[in-house]
């Protein structure tokens, strides 16, 4: 009988989970925001499970401006757009570059920052440049489903491109020596290189960003057709740019202006 | 027209049994209908989503992914088969130490997820780069494909050892004794008498293990190998088009079904002598 | 560098609390999947041994599909595709409501259908091991079809199917590791995060393997207990 009881318990727990997840239609004043939580310094989870980073602070500032409360949902990068479409959250604030392919699936606000991509390599690397010829025959690591992945596959056609689920895994493999170089946002690479784990490696240099691949910068994604939310977010970005809040957050993380020209 | 034929056509046959629409029959038809509907839905979806540019771009990639998958599984199965022989021998040996070592090996690899084993090999051994470099093994473990083959071979060796052991032990003792009385020595007995009989028993489990490996191989996509699953994930990430997954599913399903029918066919062929 | 013992402690610098949470997720996912898989598997087996060809066909299509697809792919299809499909259906009927298939539910569904398709095979061969006389005996003493199934066939069926089901349970436990790929914080994912952050990959993936080994051992003890119980009731009948 005990077994039976346990089974009933499990079934009711499962049913409850279904009902709970089914019943949550969000309150009007809360904005659910999806982010990755594995992309320092923009968004990252601390050891005790707190979300921190530039994206998070910007999101909170925007919510404050829009008089709503931010509710954060962490989601793996390669499933972040499907999760938005499925309604797991209402906006993605996760350093997502505005690209034409993504714009077919979601609507973007204007950019809220734009930093160039760059290449990093082990300290003893003989790499001197970041061109296709420099990297010919090398193994280049990137995070999958990113503009950096698309850029690397399109540009470094003579290199082997390996894609990883998060930035941390390619960092591990670059430190291990499985990779000859990695390609990512310069701020992300610099942040990592400044930590003890990043001691293995050095920055080779920035990569000239390509508009058709990298787009105008990172924007906030909302579901297609939700123009009202998008316009509100756009207005909020303008407002925090104007009232100094943006600069305050910017200076907390960076020594330069990440908004770009 | 002959008389006999005339007669035959005049014979009254008993009325055919009316097949009743029992509950089971209604349910069965409803379920089959549902599958057909789902199938039609799938075909219309794929038809509606038909995109020649997509095919032109990704078909070669899927093909290379398929080759990677098959090479990986093939290599792992062969290496695993070689490794499984000493393990199965140790499992059947009366030496306590050998026996328990082999048991521990089999227990570990069958008791933990292949995904965890693969991570252990890829990322875990990756952190011993200096040590591996010193013994000259780093070039091997540097490559994700080799890491995949390494983990898969060790894993399937454990399963194959159990298959082999089970099959050999399924051959009755009398076969050993008979061979001995004919003056064959142990190796000859094993090779000429026991193994041929054991292989008939082992064929189906081996086939199943092969199928399980094909399916399990999808996880190497997580350690940066561009197998069929890896190519699929890449295609999905670049296009956000869900049909990429559907196509991968159809390909995997066809491989598995083809393998299953092949095993059935081989089994029918080699058991002809057992049929009466 | 922190020592191994600090990393494995339950304190703020240690990862044991995170991994323990992951173990809890692993166990609850496996336990939540089991009844679904058993129930579906049983009905599929009933369909496959029915005299009605259409039912047999429906059952066979089910097992062919879910035994033929890689578990990882099934998981992705349910997680991403299911989310899109359910979302569209809901939006059609009542726009505004949000139903999310979270990774736990997706894992439960995907692992449940995979489990059930293997489980149906185990039940099917158990069905075949029960002689027709048992059914006839049941009908002869005036039991209905349902009663015969419940009171006469099922108790024997479970005893015959138990070793096969035990095997499937151990497989299920291992397959739960795949949900780490869709973001559920199970044992393997928590270990992976610890490995990434501390760069002690071998240590933490080793710990994850040990956790699964221990779970398998505990399961074996439990299975033996159940087997003894079921087996003894068979002898004393």
Same domain, A50 and A164: no
pLDDT attached to residue B177: 93
CB-CB: which of A163, A176, A177 is closest to B224? A163
| Proportion of chain B above pLDDT 70, given as a percent | 95
β partners of residue A34: A73, A92
Q: Shortest CA distance to C30 belongs to which of C169, C152, C158, C144?
A: C169
pLDDT attached to residue C199: 79
Quick check: A163 and B234 CB within 8 A?
A: yes
Quick check: C73 and B35 CB within 8 A?
A: no
pTM assigned to the model: 0.86
User: 């093909």: which residue's tokens?
Assistant: B63
pLDDT attached to residue B10: 67
Chain B residues inside the 8 Å CB shell of A101: 238-240
Describe chain B by its helix, strand, coil percentages, rounded to 5. 85, 0, 15
| Proportion of chain C above pLDDT 70, given as a percent | 93
Cβ burial A181-201 (10 Å sphere, 16+ → b, else e): bbbbbbbbbbbbbeeebbebb
Q: Shortest CA distance to A147 belongs to which of A188, A187, A182, A184?
A: A184
Q: What's the 3-state SS for chain A?
A: CHHHHHHHHHHHHHHHHHHHHHHCCCCCCEEEEEECCEECCCEEECCCCCEECHHHHHHHHHHHHHCCEEEEEECCHHHHHHHHHCCCCCEEEEEEECCHHHHHHEEEEEEEECCCEEEEEECCCCCCCCCCCCCCCCEEEEECCCHHHHHHHHHCCCCEEEEECCHHHHHHHHHHCCCCEEEEEHHHHHHHHCCHHHHHEEEEEECCCCHHHHCCCEEEEEECCCHHHHHHHHHHHHHHHHCCHHHHHHHHHCCCCCCCC
| Average pLDDT value for residue range B229-240 | 86
pLDDT attached to residue A78: 81
A-C CB pairs within 8 A amount to 75
Same domain, A150 and A138: yes
Q: Which two tokens stand for residue B105?
A: 């090996």
Query: Which CATH number fits the domain that encloses residue A48?
Result: 3.40.190.10
Average pLDDT, chain C: 88
Same domain, A223 and A102: yes
pLDDT for residue A15 is more than 50:
no
Quick check: B144 and A78 CB within 8 A?
A: no
pLDDT attached to residue B218: 93
Q: What is the ipTM of this complex?
A: 0.88
Strand order through the sheet with A181-185: A160-164, A139-143, A181-185, A117-122, A201-206
CA dist., res. B153 & res. B159, Å (int): 10
Is any Cβ of chain C less than 8 angstroms from the Cβ of B70?
no
pLDDT digits (tens, 9 = 90+) for C104-133: 999 999 999 999 999 999 999 999 999 999
Angle, CA of A124, A126 and A130, to the nearest 5°: 120
pLDDT for residue B6 is more than 80:
no
Residue A8 forms part of a structural domain: no
Residue A95 forms part of a structural domain: yes
Measure in Å the smallest separation between the Cα of A229 and chain B Cα atoms: 23
Q: Which two tokens stand for residue A190?
A: 């610099």
Chain B residues inside the 8 Å CB shell of A176: 126-127, 129
Residue A7 forms part of a structural domain: no
Measure in Å the smallest separation between the Cα of B65 and chain A Cα atoms: 14
User: Cis (ω within 30 of 0) for the bond into A41?
Assistant: yes
- What is the pLDDT confidence band of residue A138, given thresholds at 50, 70 and 90? very high
Kindly list the distances between the CA atom of residue A60 and the CA atoms of A53, A250, C172, in Å, as whole numbers in the listed order. Answer: 11, 14, 41
CA dist., res. A179 & res. A172, Å (int): 9
Q: Which two tokens stand for residue C140?
A: 């002869």
Same domain, A62 and A82: yes
pLDDT digits (tens, 9 = 90+) for B83-126: 999 999 999 999 999 999 999 999 999 999 999 999 999 999 98
Task: Count other C-beta atoms under 10 Å from residue C6's C-beta.
Answer: 13
Q: What are phi and psi of A195, to 5 degrees?
A: -90, 165
β partners of residue A122: A201
Quick check: B127 and C199 CB within 8 A?
A: yes
Instruction: Map out the domains of chain B as residue ranges.
Output: 20-50, 57-274
Same domain, A206 and A227: no
- What is the pLDDT confidence band of residue B24, given thresholds at 50, 70 and 90? confident
Range(s) of the domain holding residue A76: 30-114+216-253
Evaluate whether A81 touches B237 at the Cβ level (below 8 Å).
no
Chain C residues inside the 8 Å CB shell of B35: 58, 61
Is any Cβ of chain C less than 8 angstroms from the Cβ of B89?
no
pLDDT for residue A10 is more than 80:
no
- What is the pLDDT confidence band of residue A5, given thresholds at 50, 70 and 90? very low
CB-CB: which of C72, C180, C208 is closest to B229? C72
Q: How far apart are the first and last CA of chain A?
A: 70
Residue A261 forms part of a structural domain: no
Quick check: A79 and C12 CB within 8 A?
A: no
Polymer length of chain A:
261
Quick check: C57 and B24 CB within 8 A?
A: no
Quick check: A178 and B239 CB within 8 A?
A: no
- What is the pLDDT confidence band of residue C236, given thresholds at 50, 70 and 90? very low
pLDDT digits (tens, 9 = 90+) for A17-43: 444 444 344 445 789 999 998 898 999
pLDDT attached to residue A14: 47
pLDDT attached to residue A189: 95
Is any Cβ of chain C less than 8 angstroms from the Cβ of B113?
yes
The count of domains in chain C is 1
CA dist., res. B276 & res. B274, Å (int): 6
pLDDT digits (tens, 9 = 90+) for B137-158: 988 998 999 999 999 999 999 9
Task: Count other C-beta atoms under 10 Å from residue A260's C-beta.
Answer: 14
β partners of residue A223: A106
Quick check: B253 and C54 CB within 8 A?
A: no
| Average pLDDT value for residue range B174-199 | 92
Long-range contacts of C95-99 (CB under 8 A, 24+ apart): C96/A25, C97/A25, C98/A24, C98/A25, C98/A26, C98/A87, C99/A21, C99/A22, C99/A87
pLDDT for residue C2 is more than 70:
no
pLDDT digits (tens, 9 = 90+) for A196-244: 888 899 999 999 989 889 999 999 999 999 999 999 999 999 999 999 9
Task: Count other C-beta atoms under 10 Å from residue B36's C-beta.
Answer: 11
pLDDT attached to residue A20: 42
Closest residue in chain C to residue A3, using alpha carbons only: C226
β partners of residue A181: A140
Chain B residues inside the 8 Å CB shell of A105: 240
Measure in Å the smallest separation between the Cα of A119 and chain C Cα atoms: 21
Quick check: C65 and B253 CB within 8 A?
A: yes
CA dist., res. C66 & res. C40, Å (int): 12
Chain C residues inside the 8 Å CB shell of A25: 96-98
Same domain, A89 and A142: no
Chain B residues inside the 8 Å CB shell of A83: none
Quick check: C31 and A166 CB within 8 A?
A: no
Same domain, A128 and A110: no
The set of residues, in sequence order, having a beta carbon less than 8 Å from that of A144 and lying 6+ positions away, is A77, A78, A163, A164, A165, B233, B234, B237
Q: Which two tokens stand for residue C70?
A: 């890689």
CA dist., res. A44 & res. A36, Å (int): 7
Is any Cβ of chain C less than 8 angstroms from the Cβ of A83?
yes
pLDDT attached to residue A64: 93
CA dist., res. A166 & res. C208, Å (int): 20
pLDDT for residue A112 is more than 90:
yes
Quick check: A10 and C183 CB within 8 A?
A: no
Which among A143, A151, A176, A179 is the top mutation candidate for probing chain B, defined by the most B β-carbons within 10 Å of its own β-carbon?
Answer: A176
Domain B57-274, CATH:
1.10.3720.10
Q: Which two tokens stand for residue C77?
A: 């299809």
Same domain, A80 and A124: no
Range(s) of the domain holding residue C15: 4-231
Q: Shortest CA distance to C136 belongs to which of C123, C122, C153, C150?
A: C153
- What is the pLDDT confidence band of residue C214, given thresholds at 50, 70 and 90? very high
Same domain, A151 and A166: yes
Same domain, A51 and A135: no
Residue C109 forms part of a structural domain: yes
Quick check: B113 and C212 CB within 8 A?
A: yes
C interface toward A at CB cutoff 8 Å?
12-13, 28, 31-32, 34-36, 79-80, 83-84, 86-87, 96-102, 104-105, 108, 182-183, 196-197, 199, 201, 226
Evaluate whether B167 touches B199 at the Cβ level (below 8 Å).
yes
Is any Cβ of chain B less than 8 angstroms from the Cβ of C124?
no
User: Cα C207 to the chain's mean position, in Å?
Assistant: 23
CB-CB: which of C58, C176, C199 is closest to B28? C58
Residue C82 forms part of a structural domain: yes
Quick check: B240 and A144 CB within 8 A?
A: no
Q: How far apart are the first and last CA of chain B?
A: 43
Residue C127 forms part of a structural domain: yes
Query: Which CATH number fits the domain that encloses residue C164?
Result: 1.10.3720.10
Evaluate whether A12 touches C33 at the Cβ level (below 8 Å).
no
Closest residue in chain B to residue C203, using alpha carbons only: B124
CA dist., res. A229 & res. A242, Å (int): 20
pLDDT for residue B8 is more than 60:
no
């Amino acid at each position: 009988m005990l077994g039976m009881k346990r089974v009933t318990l499990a079934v009711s727990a499962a049913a409850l989970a279904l009902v709970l997840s089914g019943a949550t239609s969000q309150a009007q004043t809360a904005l659910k925001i999806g982010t990755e939580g594995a992309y320092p310094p923009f968004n990252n989870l601390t050891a005790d499970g707190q979300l921190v980073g530039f994206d998070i602070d910007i999101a909170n500032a925007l919510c404050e401006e829009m008089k709503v409360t931010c509710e954060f949902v962490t989601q793996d990068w390669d499933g972040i757009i499907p999760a938005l479409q499925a309604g797991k959250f209402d906006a993605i604030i996760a350093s997502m570059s505005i690209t034409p392919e993504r714009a077919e699936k979601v609507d973007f606000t204007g950019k809220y920052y734009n930093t160039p991509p760059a290449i990093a390599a082990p300290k003893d690397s003989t790499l001197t440049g970041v061109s296709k010829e420099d990297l010919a025959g090398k193994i280049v690591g990137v995070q999958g489903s990113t503009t950096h992945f698309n850029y690397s596959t399109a540009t470094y056609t003579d290199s082997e491109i390996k894609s990883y689920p998060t930035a941390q895994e390619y960092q591990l493999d670059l430190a291990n020596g499985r990779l000859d170089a990695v390609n990512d946002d310069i701020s992300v690479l610099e942040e990592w290189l400044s930590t003890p784990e990043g001691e293995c490696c050095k920055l080779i240099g920035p990569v000239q960003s390509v508009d058709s691949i990298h787009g105008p910068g990172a924007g906030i994604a909302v579901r297609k057709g939700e123009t009202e939310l998008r316009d509100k977010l756009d207005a909020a970005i303008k407002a925090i740019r104007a009232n100094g809040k943006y600069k305050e957050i910017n200076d907390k993380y960076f020594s330069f202006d990440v908004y770009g020209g | 027209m002959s008389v006999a034929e005339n007669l035959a056509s005049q014979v009254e046959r008993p009325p055919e049994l009316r097949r009743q629409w029992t509950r089971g029959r209604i349910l069965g038809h409803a379920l089959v209908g549902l599958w057909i509907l789902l199938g039609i839905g799938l075909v219309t979806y794929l038809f509606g989503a038909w995109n020649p540019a997509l095919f032109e771009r990704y078909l070669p990639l899927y093909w290379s992914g398929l080759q990677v998958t098959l090479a990986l599984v093939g290599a792992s199965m062969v290496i695993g088969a070689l490794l499984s022989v000493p393990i199965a021998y140790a499992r059947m040996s009366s030496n306590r130490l050998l026996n328990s070592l082999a048991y521990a090996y089999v227990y570990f690899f069958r008791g933990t997820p292949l995904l965890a084993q693969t991570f252990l090999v890829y990322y875990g051994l990756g952190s011993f780069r200096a040590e591996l470099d010193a013994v000259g093994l780093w070039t091997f473990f540097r490559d994700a494909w080799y890491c995949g083959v390494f983990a898969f071979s060790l894993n399937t060796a454990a399963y194959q050892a159990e298959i082999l052991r089970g099959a050999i032990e399924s051959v009755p003792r009398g076969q050993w004794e008979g061979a001995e009385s004919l003056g064959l020595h142990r190796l000859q007995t094993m090779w000429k008498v026991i193994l041929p009989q054991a292989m008939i028993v082992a064929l189906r489990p081996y086939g199943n293990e092969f199928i399980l490996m094909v399916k399990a191989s999808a996880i190497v996509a997580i350690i940066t190998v561009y197998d069929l699953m890896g190519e699929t994930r890449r295609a999905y990430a670049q296009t956000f088009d869900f049909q990429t997954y559907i196509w991968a599913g159809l390909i995997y399903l066809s491989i598995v079904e083809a393998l299953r029918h092949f095993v059935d066919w081989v089994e029918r062929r080699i058991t002809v002598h057992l049929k009466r | 560098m922190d020592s191994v013992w600090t990393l494995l402690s339950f304190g703020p610098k240690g990862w044991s609390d995170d991994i323990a949470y992951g173990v809890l997720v692993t166990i609850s996912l496996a336990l939540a999947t089991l009844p679904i898989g058993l129930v579906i598997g049983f009905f599929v087996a009933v369909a496959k041994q029915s005299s009605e060809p259409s039912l047999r066909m429906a059952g066979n299509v089910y097992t062919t599909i879910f035994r033929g697809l890689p578990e990882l792919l099934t998981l992705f299809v349910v997680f991403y595709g299911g989310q899109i499909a359910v979302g569209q259906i809901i939006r059609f009927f009542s726009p505004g409501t949000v139903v999310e298939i979270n990774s736990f539910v997706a894992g439960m569904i995907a692992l449940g259908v995979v489990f059930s398709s293997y489980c149906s095979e185990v039940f099917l061969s158990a069905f075949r091991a029960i002689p027709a006389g048992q059914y006839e005996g049941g009908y002869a003493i005036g039991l209905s079809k349902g009663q015969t199934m419940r009171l006469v066939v099922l108790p024997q069926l479970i005893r015959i199917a138990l070793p096969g089901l035990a095997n499937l349970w151990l497989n299920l436990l291992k397959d739960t590791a795949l949900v780490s790929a869709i973001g559920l914080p199970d044992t393997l994912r928590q270990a992976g995060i610890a490995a990434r952050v501390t760069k002690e990959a071998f240590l933490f993936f080793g710990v994850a393997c040990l956790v699964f080994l221990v779970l398998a051992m505990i399961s074996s003890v439990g299975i033996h207990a159940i087997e003894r119980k079921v087996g003894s009731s068979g002898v004393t009948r």
